[in-house]
Chains A and B, each alone.
Chain A
């Protein structure tokens, strides 16, 4: 049973979603059952989190044949990296439900459940084909959500995001098949497990570079790394709140996670050779998106840039390839998911209530909604990385990591953090605090947070401060994995 608990976590939402799809039409029932499902999953994940032994490597492994003729296995498991992100997903989603509670349709909730199944599956798969399977499947519900519930030019947006991500995925698909064939030719059997693929030695340098780029493109589009970001602005602006939340808080992180899980272990030497470039691209993205964010008027668009900026920073941390950088990146993944997730949901709330989401149309919300403003501010500070919040710890670690990697880049990264602070605080001042200027200063009608929403957000607020003050209790869970992982990579890289 303990081994199957992961499968249960993956497939429970999907099964519930299909059951709800055919049985009931009543929206409240659908929503309540869906919410209950996410809470059950949260409980199960907590159980795993407590049982997880930090020093023991891959745990809760299930490895059974799926398509035996091609050595494709249903191979899932959890280690320090995936456990941290799994925990994050499990905590984030129920709260998102509470904030999205009113005014959604049945299809919305079913899609949310399907996405959860998709992302969890992607996170836990250790067989590359299985991973690809979930990677594609998790996109489909989001595709439907944007198209059905989106705003503005939603169909064009949907097509754009689909085409973009599909392009990356299919490139990766060829690369996966190529690797599989190479393994087959070298060892005489088929296997697509990630730990088998790392053993391939027969590929030439050029082949490895192309394969590396094919994988990287797929992940870079999801993250998005510069210059693959052009899809996210329109998408985040036009997509419904739930979809934006899922894309920015969870799916983007899976892009980073996949780099750690598949790209670096399979191509360690290529990666070490070009790591300076990647750190540089990460930092460049941080600055580039930060400056772009300063100039946005639409808050959702601004958050899109801000999100891209932070994710570039996370990528820089991963690419710096030392324990500071990777620990910090993992930490920032969680910190950013919480902060950005909350911010997108809160802005969604503003949009639902007032009908506006541009800075120039908003203003004076603080007076009417003190609790809302307080929580908004906390999330904002965590996002910016103010001392005492988890964002601070994470950014500090990454800066250390980049510094250790290359002193000059380290100084640059320390300076760039200020850009993030400037656009965020400036937006906060204009949209929330300052008196409204549009419509001759007429006040907007805006409600404060409801009890349900406050209950939902409280764990996040607690987490922000807890992770900011006692980072050790969280880092201890994944640090052994990171250390072990780094040793492996550097060793293999040196050998090849």
Chain B
């Protein structure tokens, strides 16, 4: 019974995805709203199931005679399930407006969305390299399809084709890496590879080194680190706005979930080997991302480019992993912070442009504070969080990452990251300046907004979380659940569960 509870969240999502697919066969009978409600309810159900074992330290391999230990269910995966489900749920809720205005979102879209979530959740559970590949491909292919959904945009062909070809190409690297690792260790199971690594000397591990380097390339590609970032701008540009939000936040978390597990559980003894590579990759990711972000005129592209910079901060924590296990907590915490603020900021834009066809350049934001003061204030909060201004969760995330990086001896890198942060203040504040300091542009004027809808409430909720996550107990002494310490403790608990043998 206990084993069943563990797999219930994943199962729920899978069942819901299949059910939605069957629903979409009767296309005309259901409205988009129905699909949104059904998939949201399924997600809420999955969320409730994931909360049952929440907060305990455990590590289980349920039904090991069926699954043969390829899937592992522990606090870590549980924690990531919750994040992924929440990310998807908020994508749905914030995108509710966008989905209903854009007629190309038919029923099967929601099925695909849940399939991608299923793949990501499986990825968080994967304890075996080939399983991880399959999970990753389930998620990736669903995302490829969703990127190409915008049938009215000519850019979508470029976006989907670029992403598909490059993604498959890098997938081949991954498989080659798995083969090499298998050649050396005779296994693809992470726990067994870990045993092999600890019991052999470095000279016997050369194939494993090469194999994991190739696997690392896949990782860097998926999180869009330099030099694998070139797909990102065009893909984000061509994808429907709300899918961009989904990719930038939720998908990134899923990628990190597996690779954190692989690295911490598996190759900690040999991680120093990659330090110098990741060191330079971090530098270039930060510099290049910053440069890209300054030069953008379209807000969506700016946010996309700045997500490369955030990848740089994450890598900064990642590189400190070898010296300092606290860096893993920092990575996870930063992922949460980024999930909230990226989802919020992309989500607001998708909500604003739902009824129009504007390109969302900086100019289009002029005077938003007078037109829709509530949304402008929310956007400001999310941008503050992205820029790491105190009183938002983004600040705590940055504090965490930089402290651990300095603690692991990467002070120079931390200073570079601070300079990147400083420049990011420029491009984020430029948007705030547009919203508050200019009169409204004529062609963007419209009076018939209806902001009393689910999208707005979801955005507002995220904004409140952003601020509470940054202030924590300073004001809410009396609400123990909402403070930063609880969040930090949960991240620590989840990482610790990786060490249960």
Contacts and interface: CB of A to CB of B under 8 A. Distances in A.
A184 B384 CA distance: 29
B465 interface: no
Interface in B422-474: 422, 425-426, 429-430, 433, 436-438, 472-474
A170 B422 contact: yes
A12 interface: no
Contact of A148 (B391, B415, B437, B488): B437
Interface in B31-48: none
A159 B429 contact: yes
A155 B433 contact: yes
Contact of A177 (B384, B389, B390, B406): B406
Interface of B (DSSP majority class) = helix
A167 B423 CA distance: 9
Contacts of A69: 485, 488-489, 492
A212 interface: no
Interface string B395-416: 1100100110011000100110
Contacts of A185: 407
Contacts of A66: 472-474, 484
A67 B437 contact: no
A43 interface: no
Contacts of A68: 485
B327 to A, nearest CB: 13
A331 B444 CA distance: 54
A136 B492 CA distance: 29
A231 interface: no
Contacts of B406: 174, 177-178, 181
Given A144-B436, A155-B437, A162 B429 contact: yes
A67 B485 contact: yes
Interface string A1-33: 000000000010000000000000000000000
Given A69-B489, A136-B390, A180 B403 contact: yes
Interface in A138-188: 140, 143-144, 147-148, 154-155, 158-159, 162-163, 166-167, 170-171, 173-174, 177-178, 180-181, 184-185
Contacts, number: 88
Interface in B323-372: none
Of B396, B426, B433, B477, most buried by chain A (CB within 10 Å of CB) is: B433
Interface in A315-341: none
Interface in A58-87: 64-70, 74
Contacts of A414: none
B233 to A, nearest CB: 25
B425 A162 contact: yes
A46 B474 CA distance: 25
A167 B414 contact: no
Interface of A (DSSP majority class) = helix
B473 A74 contact: yes
B418 interface: yes
Nearest to B470: A133
B475 interface: yes
B334 to A, nearest CB: 15
A67 B396 contact: yes
A220 interface: no
B433 A158 contact: yes
B402 A177 contact: yes
**Interface residues on chain A, size class:** 35 or more
B418 A178 contact: no
Contacts of A147: 433, 436-437
Given A154-B437, A158-B437, A177-B414, A166 B422 contact: yes
Contacts of A98: none
A132 interface: yes
Nearest to B409: A181
Contacts of A137: 389-391
A304 interface: no
B290 interface: no
A112 interface: no
B421 interface: yes
Contacts of A11: 475
Interface string B371-390: 00000000000001000011
A129 interface: yes
Contact of B422 (A70, A136, A167, A177): A167
A163 B426 CA distance: 7
Contacts of B485: 65, 67-69
A287 to B, nearest CB: 32
Given A70-B403, A159-B429, A180-B403, A133 B415 contact: no
A162 B432 CA distance: 12
B418 A174 contact: yes
B399 A177 contact: yes
B407 A184 contact: yes
B324 to A, nearest CB: 10
Contacts of B488: 67, 69
Contacts of B411: 174, 178
A167 B390 CA distance: 15
A133 B391 contact: yes
Nearest to A67: B484
B421 A181 contact: no
B463 to A, nearest CB: 13
Given A166-B425, A177-B403, 20 more contacts: A11-B475, A64-B477, A65-B473, A65-B485, A66-B473, A67-B488, A70-B399, A133-B391, A133-B395, A136-B389, A140-B384, A155-B437, A159-B433, A163-B422, A163-B425, A163-B426, A170-B418, A174-B418, A177-B399, A177-B406
10 contacts: A11-B475, A69-B489, A129-B399, A134-B390, A137-B389, A137-B391, A158-B437, A162-B425, A170-B418, A174-B414
Interface of A: 11, 64-70, 74, 129, 132-134, 136-137, 140, 143-144, 147-148, 154-155, 158-159, 162-163, 166-167, 170-171, 173-174, 177-178, 180-181, 184-185
Q: 5 closest pairs, A vs B, by CB?
A: A147-B437, A133-B390, A136-B390, A69-B488, A181-B407
